[in-house]
Amino acid sequence: MRAEQTVRQRRCRRRSITPTWEVRHGQHLRVCAVRNRAGSQCRPSSTPHNTTFARTHRIEIGALGNDEKRRLSRNHWGYLDETAGDVDNHDRTGVGVAQLSVAPPWLVSAAQDLQSIGSTLAAANGAAAGPTTVLATAAADEVSTAIAALFAGHAREYHSLSGHFGAFNQQFVQALNSASGAYASAEAQSAPLLQTVGRDVLGAINAPTEFLLARPLIGNGADGTAANPNGGAGGLLIGNGGNGYSQTTPGLTGGTGGTAGLIGNGGSGGAGGPNAAGGPGGLGGWLYGNNGPAGTGSPVNASVPLYLDNNFPAVNVSINGGPSVPVLLDTGSAGLVVPIWDIGLQNLGVPTGFDVIRYGNGVNILYADFNTTVDFGSGAVTAPTSVQVGILPFPTSLQGLTLIAMGNGFGPTGHGVLGIGPNINAATGGHGNVVTTALPGQLNEGELINIPQGYMQFGPNTGTPITSVSGVPITTLDVQFGGYDPLGTYYPVTSIVDSGGNHGTIPGIILGTGQTSGVVPPGTVISISTNDNQTLLYSYTTTGTDSPVVTGNIPMNTGLLPFALGPVYISNSPSGVGTVVFNYPPP
């Protein structure tokens, strides 16, 4: 059909004026008159009707005059669909075949309106029946009698017609009600069929990927259940992740939200049971979508496995939904630094900045900051927090070059470093953040490091505090050689309480032997105390395989040894300072 089409209907007779309609797509309806005496003349009506026709439109009958309504073709009633065919298929009025849209609620409403109208008219006719059909004669003469009889006859004829109209109205109402029921029944019968067809088509589309990858191509992931609490993954192409199951049993973590595919939102994490954490939300789509929110919970403590890797403690983390990888647990630094290949890249976002982190082993790392989640397991999942994603390690010493060459540029595990020292930034001007402070509820209060029993616990200290020192990892410790003596000679030394410091270091200046390199001789008794040597924290005897390295400068590094002797709690309070709490008595 052409973009613009003019439809005209003209009937010219002698001494008659016939309304003519010009219908243009996107223009107003105008009424013209045709005169046949002195030639034809067409002019717009004095008041154009503001009725606009679109491709599929509805004529506003109320805007037309009575004469125009009578002239209006029957095909104008209802909805006009001019896309039904081209101009050659139109009827003689030039208007496309009508297409009627039916909604059962509209039919029911119309039937109720008509029934109300019929009831009102019937009541009015009943009230007027007596006064109009039985008229009293105005006088005793024959003319008055004839006039009364005439009007009474008209009234009877009117009431007869109104009775026919009432019957017609009732039949029409019944027809509308019947039609609405028929349409509703047809829709109800067709809905299951359409749903079945839709499922069959979607099943055929998803069958190959479900067979090969156990995942649909299109569709939302299944929600978690009590038996399988984690939400299912959404379709590879389109689909939201399923929601995690919300637990009701005390201590059980909520289910994890499912991951979306290319387009879709991650599923919501399920709520945890009493005294348990909620599940983490699923990742949003690679191309478009939002990460799902974590489930609610009320965790007090959460424990994760802790193990040693060549005298270095390690825990597992998953960053942005990526693989679970072991990282060094380091109280001597701040910030979580991991190589880019060990994180989840889906829906990671853009970096918030770039910088360089410097470690004491001669390795510097260029990193990009990303705000994302860190999952330690057991329901300990942080809110989005700053994570340093390592791009390139580079050496600042021969030792650093050796470490990088051996594949240890990102820590002894090769997968990164988890720094949890609250005051290291203030002491060294660093920028790393302690990611465990982004854990929910009381989990962010601190970490109990229990190497003898092989776990780390987030939350309040569940052990029995024996002694403590303010400041983590930078603090001042009193050092004594040859056994502890509160009245003997001791050396207050700036120290680093460093779980990632391996065997630790001792400044040669306090040995008094002139030694500035190598290791402290085996069999040396070293006592570490605080409060002007009045409170012993721990004591140990060096061996040929476990002895601190002698350096020519301060500070001292405790190394792993105080953590290996018993459980140590690292408190994040006071904020930015921290406290070291020893849950075991000194020997």
What contacts 142, CB < 8 A, 6 or more positions away? none
> What is d(CA 497, CA 277) in angstroms, rounded to the nearest whole number?
30
Q: In the prediction, which pLDDT does 187 show?
A: 66
Which of 330, 342, 375, 478 is the catalytic position?
330
**Has residue 238 been placed in a domain?**
no
> pLDDT at position 57, please?
38
Assess whether 522 and 441 both reside in one domain: no
pTM: 0.61
**CA–CA dist 313, 40 (Å, integer):** 103
The pLDDT assigned to 287 comes to 85
> Same structural domain for residues 82 and 184?
no
- Indicate if 312 and 356 belong to the same structural domain: yes
d(CA 103, CA 112): 15
Q: What is the pLDDT of residue 242?
A: 93
8 A C-beta contact, residue 242 and residue 220:
yes
The predicted pLDDT at position 13 comes to 41
Long-range contacts formed by 106-114: CB under 8 A, 24+ apart: 107/176, 107/177, 107/179, 107/180, 107/183, 108/176, 108/177, 108/180, 110/176, 111/173, 111/176, 111/177, 111/180, 114/169, 114/172, 114/173, 114/176
Residue 202 in domain: no
In a domain, 207, yes or no: no
Beta bridge partners of 288: 263
Query: 330 catalytic, yes or no?
Result: yes
**Do 133 and 95 fall within a single domain?**
no
Whether 369 maps to a domain, the answer reads: yes
**What's 318-363 look like in SS3?**
EECCCCEEEEEEECCCEEEEEEHHHCCCCCCCCCCEEEEEECCCCE
What is the end-to-end Cα distance of the chain in Å, rounded? Answer: 98
User: Which CATH number characterizes residue 135's domain?
Assistant: 1.10.287.850
pLDDT in tens, the chain (587 residues): 444 444 444 444 444 444 444 444 444 444 343 344 444 444 444 444 443 333 333 434 444 455 544 444 434 333 333 333 343 444 444 444 444 555 566 656 666 666 677 667 667 666 665 565 555 555 556 666 777 677 667 667 776 676 666 677 677 767 767 766 666 666 666 667 666 665 667 677 778 877 777 778 888 989 999 999 999 998 888 889 999 999 988 888 889 899 888 889 999 989 888 878 888 888 888 888 888 888 887 778 999 999 999 999 999 999 998 999 999 999 999 999 999 999 998 888 899 999 988 887 889 999 999 999 999 998 899 989 999 999 999 999 888 888 888 888 888 999 999 999 999 987 777 778 999 999 988 999 999 999 999 999 999 999 999 999 999 999 999 999 998 999 999 999 999 999 999 999 999 999 888 899 999 999 999 999 999 999 999 999 999 999 999 998 889 999 999 999 999 999 999 999 999 999 999 98
Q: Which residues contact 276 (CB under 8 A, 6 or more apart)?
A: 247, 250, 251, 252, 253, 254, 297, 298, 299, 379
Q: Residue 460 in contact with residue 446, Cβ under 8 Å? A: yes
What is the total count of domains within the chain? 4
Q: Do both 395 and 330 map to the same domain?
A: yes
- Name the residue range of residue 477's domain: 467-582
Token pair, residue 448, equals: 């109990």
**Both tokens assigned to 230:** 């984690």
Kindly state whether residues 77 and 120 are assigned to the same domain: no
Q: Does residue 316 share a domain with residue 452?
A: yes
- Angstrom distance (rounded) from CA 282 to CA 288: 14
Residues 80 and 193 reside in one and the same domain:
no
Please report, for the domain that includes residue 370, its CATH number.
2.40.70.10
CA quadruple 190, 195, 201, 204: dihedral, nearest 10: -140
Domain membership flag for residue 360:
yes
423 and 311 belong to one structural domain: yes
